[in-house]
Amino acid sequence: MSDPFGAGDAGKTKAQGVADAVNRLLQELSIKCAKEEGVRDYFHIAVIGYGARVGPAFGGTLSGRDFVPISEVADNPARIEERMKKEDDGAGGLIERSVKFPIWFEAKAEGGTPMTAALTRAKSLVDSWLAQHPSSYPPIVIHLTDGESTDGDPSGVADEIKLQVSADGSVLLLNMHLSSEPGSPIRFPDNESGLPNDYARMLFRMSSYLPRHMQQLVAGEGQNASDGTKGFVFNAELPDVVSFLDIGTRTSELR
Amino acid sequence: MRLACTTLYLHKGGSRAEEYEDAFYPRRGHVVYRRRSADSHLSKRFAVADGATESLLAGAWAGVLVRAFCVRVAPGRKEPHVTYARAIRQWSRYVDQYRDEREARAQPIRWYEEPGLEKGAFATFLGLQLDHDSDGLRWTAWALGDSCLLHVRDGHLVDAFPRQPGDTFDTSPPLAFSKGDVAVLAEYTECRSGTFRWNDAFLLLTDAVAAWSLGAVARGSLDWQQLLDIEGYGADAEAEFGQWVEGLRSTGEMKNDDVTVMRVSIEG
């Protein structure tokens, strides 16, 4: 777990790469739900970490909590880093600008990859959520991993997660494999033919079919999407899954 | 001619009343205009706008848009360009004042608000102008997005604009943008005009109730005609309207969203 992450991120470990992806996801979700003077609770979030142990992974004051309303998540990062971001200067060059990068989840390179235990924990959280909120938008499980399962085949529990339903539809399981392996990234495939190995094929089978509105967003990125398209990326950076989540009227500038 | 304008609205279910992000003008729930004399020109404007969920200060921007269209109208100026240019100018001052006001009450902008404020605010826009002069009775409407105008005569739909009965509504309509280019916004804005008669009515509707109404028309249902009977006076009317909307939401017939219904009746 302390292997280098990707070719372009010198010095960044795999664990750091996954931690950055989780923190960026929480950051983007907070911004998506932000309104003036607060964040609206369109989502409740649980973050499960797995390595030497499997359990709640929020740091800081949220430590030990399972589901947390997004407003509390936004107001309680464990700390906020200042990071430099390269931006277009409008004249063909790049400028560096300091941006705030909130941290909820710290990188930990320890233990194995107990994927089956982690998904079992996710299933139990989904079960308890649905028991309390049977009419809610169905929960989405976003599984970020950088390695292969070290506690057996997680396919069975993945199937059990996908069988859960609310009155509004089926639970979605998205598998996002963030990898340091050389090779082309694979994003939202609709068949197994281009997948490089059995592990990738297993994750593909474990993933949910994308509902129609998510297919349209994938297609909007210039990629083929069909009813066979799955919520799966392999050997890739974390895609913009936050854009999959509908909270109301979307905004984009007319051109 | 006498114009009576009645507006009722309700915030999204599960939200607080102050989280309502539609806007309308005239701002009062019920207002009446009369032509001063038989040969005077009566020209009145009405507007609704719907602030986008994924946008900060969206309700305030919707409010700026409807006022820019309806207040201190300069006759003969080119629409919708004038409205957008005026709204965008006013908005930049509004945001500066908002930031100052947050600082003044020790509630500085939080990290998660900054990207949205930087990005700008978004809203649909629907404006209606009614004219009565020596040429007769004319209406002109401008629309950007999915807020809709229904022209009604004797309880029947004469015209719908910009969406038609049976059209689908999605979550990505074109939107008026507080940092937009006026010419681009104007290019995407649809305009339609026509004539109207005594006793006609116009309904200006934001998307949830527009989708419900046009869906009913497409199915041949007369349920949408209930909108012609709304009364805008006082708390009882608001409570009755709220119960009616919540009933439609609970059965899934109407999307759970902010709802605004403005009815403009023409009385001879």
Least confident of A11-25, A70-84, A203-217, B243-257: A11-25
Q: Which residue of chain B has the CA closest to A28?
A: B112
- pLDDT at residue A7, as a whole number: 39
Per-residue pLDDT, averaged over A206-227, amounts to: 90
Please check the confidence at residue B111 and state whether its pLDDT lies above 80: yes
| Interface touch A250/B188, C-beta < 8 Å | no
The pLDDT-based confidence of A249 (bands split at 50, 70, 90) is confident
Interface test with B, best of A35, A70, A85, A252 (most B CBs within 10 A): A35
Cβ distance A100 to B19 less than 8 Å, yes or no, reads: no
What single-letter DSSP state applies at residue A62? G
In chain A, whose CA is at the least distance from the CA of B112? A31
pLDDT band at A12 (very low <50, low <70, confident <90, very high): low
Residue B139, pLDDT score: 97
* pLDDT tens-digit series, residues A133-145: 998 889 999 999 8
Nearest to A32 among B54, B111, B173 (CB): B54
pLDDT at A5: 45
Spatial separation of the C-alpha atoms in residues A245 and B33, rounded to whole Å: 45
- Rounded to two decimals, the pTM is 0.86
CA distance B160 to B210: 10
Helix, strand or coil for residue A42? coil
Please give the average per-residue pLDDT across A48-67, as a whole number: 93
Closest residue to A249, CB basis, from B15, B116, B173: B173
pLDDT score at A2? 44
Give the integer Cα–Cα distance in Å for B3 and B130: 9
What pLDDT is stored for residue B133 in this prediction? 83
Residue A209 burial class via C-beta count within 10 angstroms: exposed 0-12, middle 13-18, buried 19 and up: middle
| pLDDT 10s digits, A146-173 | 888 999 999 999 999 999 999 989 999 9
pLDDT band at A8; cut points 50, 70, 90: very low
**What residues form DSSP beta bridges with A54?**
A50
- B60 → chain A, closest CA residue: A36
Please count the residue pairs, one from chain A and one from chain B, whose beta carbons lie less than 8 angstroms apart.
78
Nearest to A30 among B98, B112, B172 (CB): B112
At residue B171, the pLDDT reads: 84
**Confidence band of A227 (pLDDT split at 50, 70, 90):** very high
Residue of A nearest to B145 (CA): A249
Burial label, A215 (beta-carbon count in 10 A; 0-12, 13-18, 19+): buried
Q: Which of B60, B111, B114 is the closest to A80 by Cβ?
A: B111
Residue holding tokens 């950007």? B144
Cβ neighbours for A145, distance < 8 A, ≥ 6 positions apart: A18, A113, A115, A175, A176, A177, A178
How open is the CA angle B112-B118-B122, to the nearest 5 degrees? 100
Work out the burial of residue B188: count CB atoms within 10 Å of its CB; fewer than 13 is exposed, 13-18 middle, 19 or more buried: middle
Write out chain B residues lying below 8 Å of A32, CB-based.
54
Yes or no, beta carbons of B171 and A34 under 8 Å apart: no
User: Smallest CA–CA separation between B154 and chain A, in Å?
Assistant: 34
> Which of B16, B49, B15, B61 has its CA nearest to residue B262?
B49
Distance CA B61, CA A178 (A): 40
pLDDT bracket for residue A10 (50, 70, 90):
very low
Measured between CA atoms, the residue of chain B closest to residue A217 is: B172
For residue A4, what pLDDT is reported?
Answer: 45
Distance CA A148, CA A115 (A): 8
pLDDT digits (tens, 9 = 90+) for A64-110: 999 999 999 999 999 999 888 888 777 888 888 888 889 999 887 67
pLDDT of residue A9 exceeding 90, the answer is no
In angstroms, the separation between the Cα of residue B113 and the nearest Cα of chain A is 6
- Which residues lie below 8 Å from residue B171, measured CB to CB, with a gap of 6+? A246, A248, A249, A250
The confidence band for A230, taking pLDDT boundaries of 50, 70 and 90, is: very high
- Considering only the beta carbons, identify the residue of A27, A246, A249 that sits closest to B52: A249
Q: Which of A5-9, A66-70, B12-16, B178-182 has the lowest mean pLDDT?
A: A5-9
